[in-house]
Amino acid sequence: MDGKESDCVTAAHICQESEHCTLLYENFKKTCGRESEQCKTLDGGYLCAALRESLKETILWNCHCNDPSKAECTEIWKSLFEDICIHDAQMNQVSAFS
């Protein structure tokens, strides 16, 4: 895969061509967006972590942004890799085992 193919905007367009990928990503965005009700509960955080895990099998998982000034690319990347909801659940999981 060359850099252009793994750009998050390109990956999102390719994802839209696959019903499976589209359903996974849309469900993840709807359930796990920063403003979602799911994000406000620990169980919701775990659900979002599981939904995010399912995205590993899609083209979106390896996407990146070569140009950080491309807002659309950065927005897609952050929705996948910087989701506060998921990080909170992972942090609680770590502290539970400490």
pTM, full prediction: 0.74
Query: What confidence score (pLDDT) does residue 88 get?
Result: 55
Residue 2 has pLDDT above 60, yes or no: no
Query: What confidence score (pLDDT) does residue 87 get?
Result: 58
**What would the DSSP string read from start to end of the chain?**
--TTTTBHHHHHHHHHT-HHHHHHHHHHHHHHSTT-SGGGSHHHHHHHHHHHHHGGGSGGGG-B-S-TT-HHHHHHHHHHH--HHHHHHHHHHHHHH-
Q: What are 47-94's pLDDT values in tens digits?
A: 888 998 999 999 999 999 988 789 999 999 988 888 667 655 555 554
Q: What are 3-59's pLDDT values in tens digits?
A: 344 799 999 999 999 999 999 999 998 888 777 777 777 788 888 889 989 999 999
